[in-house]
Amino acid sequence: MSLLVIGTLALDKVETPYEARDEALGGSATFFCFAASNFHQVGLVGVIGDDFPMGEIAKLEAHGVDTRGVEKAAGKTFRWAGRYEADWNTRTTLDTQLGVFENWMPTVPDEMTNARFVFLANAAPAVQSAALDQCENPEFVMLDTMNLWIDIARDELLALIRRVDGIVLNDEEARMLTGQRNLIKAARAVLALGPKYVILKKGEHGAFLVGKDVHFSLPAYPVDNVVDPTGAGDSFAGGFMGYISAARNTDPLTLKRAMLYGTVTASFCVQGFSVEELVRHDRGRVEARFNELLSITSF
Amino acid sequence: MSLLVIGTLALDKVETPYEARDEALGGSATFFCFAASNFHQVGLVGVIGDDFPMGEIAKLEAHGVDTRGVEKAAGKTFRWAGRYEADWNTRTTLDTQLGVFENWMPTVPDEMTNARFVFLANAAPAVQSAALDQCENPEFVMLDTMNLWIDIARDELLALIRRVDGIVLNDEEARMLTGQRNLIKAARAVLALGPKYVILKKGEHGAFLVGKDVHFSLPAYPVDNVVDPTGAGDSFAGGFMGYISAARNTDPLTLKRAMLYGTVTASFCVQGFSVEELVRHDRGRVEARFNELLSITSF
């Protein structure tokens, strides 16, 4: 096993200005898996309730995701409900039901503990730490988090940040974590917390990567038909980690190319509801859009 | 004369979260001139009142700006007052005093009517049109405007847009002009109004250029010490037009390079109050930052 993700599998209720859907497949690890599996096989560690539609697990497996680390627990699957405003940038969480995720602690299957690349998708820092504890000397660990954990579990999160190689944050999270409004200053402040690399995501305005040996800034791929932004960040991470894991390399050039693959993968994600477009996309479409993004952003 | 600008010379009152200044040199054409003169000689057409500090005219001339088109009229110089909020993205106009600009119609000096490159800086469309009428077959005309004119002089503006080669707009102006919220759709809708090229500026999030033979997107240069954003857009235009005018070329590669020069020039502008940093910058500093931006945004 080369690439491992720990995170949520969820059922989402999503309202956009144009459409509403209930019981849509969601969760940080789910989006990551569909995104990364285009590049490399992924091992998935997470938990579902007894109400989870097993056809979705079959769909993940059909995409080459190793689901042996998905635990089925008695109770309800994690549920999230949210609404997007017409500008797509304003998201309101309407409801969160942790369900079986509430008291879950991850068990990384023996076959997966030797993963070289590990993505700790958004979850409580205690859950992320417990998963990382079970990994044997991974080459590159990337962490995601959210405002909630920065707010209520800051110390645990800071301890975890010191143990990882990279962290992905959106602009709001980076400001909240560091108290710096300017995003360059915020990114430098995050680096001072320990990781070698920070990826700062700015939604429709693109993303940048900073580290001691690299500084790379990239606009978003221009999407003119956003359908549902849910999972865009996890899809970015999936494209990024999937690419570097397949390349088995983290040199600056590989990281820069991975930023493009992450951006392209996220652009597919937002063009469909839930994982619809991620499921549909294939490596050929990814490569075509990669080349298009390259031509838009370079000479 | 190769490069000509028509626009305002002003005295600004600016409040930022950190500082306030009164009677600071401002105006769309002023910023443009200091920005463009690093690349090429500029001819300036504008109007000042009898209260305008003539030392500022000398400063423009010292930067190679031909000020023979600056008319001195009886009355007060155009004055603008505004305030920036802590996020730097929210700007409130506190006061506008048109002064001598109110009834002014431009006269392009005979020596300047053969300009090959013309920038119609922000002013009433009637003023911009009158200036353009006096130009003899320029190779490339670029237009800037603002919300006010989109609102109160839409028909005149649309007629003028059909006559120019390119237009620069910020995100808000593009949405207002086209009714399209998505910026890619907005840019395409602007192209449908007639110009060959649209530059859409997104402030700290960069800018993109679209046209029939080019699509180029660029993040902003990462500035961690914003002092005063006033004039950033005009400085961008100055760097852009100064570069293509010096190159006497508008092929896609030149336009892409010009986007970088515009971005770099705007980044200097915001690092000082009024034109302070623009006055201080020189071609060597511009080239160093151009190379830095190139390394941040390419492989």
Q: Has residue A192 got a pLDDT over 90?
A: yes
- Alpha helices (H) along chain B: 28-36, 54-62, 125-133, 147-152, 154-161, 171-178, 183-191, 232-247, 252-269, 276-280, 283-297
Q: How close A253 gets to chain B, by Cα (Å)?
A: 7
Q: Has residue B87 got a pLDDT over 90?
A: no
Residue with tokens 């910058």: B281
Question: Which backbone phi and psi does A153 adopt, to 5 degrees?
Answer: -140, 40
Which residues touch A113 (CB under 8 Å, ≥6 apart)? A134, A135, A136
Would you place residue B90 in the very low, low, confident or very high pLDDT band (cuts 50, 70, 90)? confident
Containing H/E element for B49?
Answer: none
> A295 to chain B: which residues are within 8 Å by CB?
215
Instruction: Note the pLDDT tens digit of each residue in B189-238.
Output: 999 999 999 999 998 899 999 998 899 999 999 999 999 999 999 999 99
Give A283-290 contacts, CB < 8 A, sequence gap 24+: A283/A38, A283/A39, A286/A38, A286/A239, A286/A261, A289/A221, A289/A264, A290/A260, A290/A261, A290/A264
* A282 vs B76 pLDDT, higher one: B76
> A299 to chain B: which residues are within 8 Å by CB?
253, 256-257, 298
**Which one, of B197, B213, B212, B186, lies nearest residue B161 by Cα?**
B197
Using the beta-carbon criterion (under 8 Å), do A295 and B215 form an inter-chain contact?
yes
Q: How, if at all, do strands B65-72 and B42-48 pair?
A: parallel
Q: How many angstroms separate the Cα of A63 from the Cα of each of A11, A36, A278? A: 19, 10, 10
- Chains A and B form CB pairs within 8 A to the count of 67
DSSP conformational letter for A51: T
* B90 vs A50 pLDDT, higher one: A50
Q: How close B237 gets to chain A, by Cα (Å)?
A: 19
Q: Has residue B129 got a pLDDT over 80?
A: yes
Using the beta-carbon criterion (under 8 Å), do B181 and A226 form an inter-chain contact?
no
Percent pLDDT > 70 in chain A is 100
The per-residue pLDDT for A26 is: 97
Q: Has residue A10 got a pLDDT over 90?
A: yes
Instruction: Note the pLDDT tens digit of each residue in A126-181.
Output: 999 999 999 999 999 999 999 999 999 999 999 999 999 999 999 999 999 999 99
The per-residue pLDDT for A201 is: 96
> B208 to chain A: which residues are within 8 Å by CB?
219, 222, 296
> A218 to chain B: which residues are within 8 Å by CB?
219, 297
Q: Has residue A281 got a pLDDT over 80?
A: no
Amino acid at B30: T
Locate B254 and state its tokens: 């030149």
Instruction: Note the pLDDT tens digit of each residue in A208-251.
Output: 999 988 999 999 999 999 999 999 999 999 999 999 999 999 99
Q: How many angstroms separate the Cα of B214 from the Cα of each of B189, B197, B203, B240, B256? A: 16, 8, 21, 15, 8
Using the beta-carbon criterion (under 8 Å), do A219 and B206 form an inter-chain contact?
yes
Using the beta-carbon criterion (under 8 Å), do B206 and A205 form an inter-chain contact?
yes
What's the CA gap between B18 and B129, in Å, rounded?
Answer: 39
Using the beta-carbon criterion (under 8 Å), do B256 and A223 form an inter-chain contact?
no
ipTM entry: 0.86
Using the beta-carbon criterion (under 8 Å), do A208 and B226 form an inter-chain contact?
no
Model confidence, pTM: 0.91
* B281 vs B30 pLDDT, higher one: B30
Q: How close A214 gets to chain B, by Cα (Å)?
A: 8
Q: Has residue A9 got a pLDDT over 80?
A: yes
Structural domain boundaries of chain A?
A: 3-296
Using the beta-carbon criterion (under 8 Å), do B184 and A223 form an inter-chain contact?
yes
What's the CA gap between A70 and A47, in Å, rounded?
Answer: 5
Using the beta-carbon criterion (under 8 Å), do B298 and A299 form an inter-chain contact?
yes
What's the CA gap between A96 and B288, in Å, rounded?
Answer: 50
What's the CA gap between B276 and B25, in Å, rounded?
Answer: 9
Nearest-CB residue to B219 (from A206, A224, A226):
A206
Q: Has residue B86 got a pLDDT over 90?
A: no
Beta bridge partners of A273: none
Q: Has residue A53 got a pLDDT over 80?
A: yes
The per-residue pLDDT for B145 is: 96
The per-residue pLDDT for A280 is: 86
What's the CA gap between A219 and B60, in Å, rounded?
Answer: 35
Q: What is the mean pLDDT of residues A73-85?
A: 96
Nearest-CB residue to A297 (from B86, B183, B217):
B217
Q: Has residue A65 got a pLDDT over 80?
A: yes
Question: ∠ CA B126-B132-B134 to the nearest 5 degrees?
Answer: 110
Q: Has residue A299 got a pLDDT over 90?
A: no
Q: What is the mean pLDDT of residues A268-278?
A: 95
Q: How close B51 gets to chain A, by Cα (Å)?
A: 38
Q: How close B267 gets to chain A, by Cα (Å)?
A: 14
Q: Has residue A107 got a pLDDT over 90?
A: yes
Q: Has residue B67 got a pLDDT over 80?
A: yes
The per-residue pLDDT for B88 is: 84
Rg (CA), chain A: 17
Q: What is the mean pLDDT of residues B66-93?
A: 94
Helix (H, G, I), strand (E, B) or coil at A235: helix
DSSP conformational letter for B219: P
CATH dotted code for B3-296: 3.40.1190.20
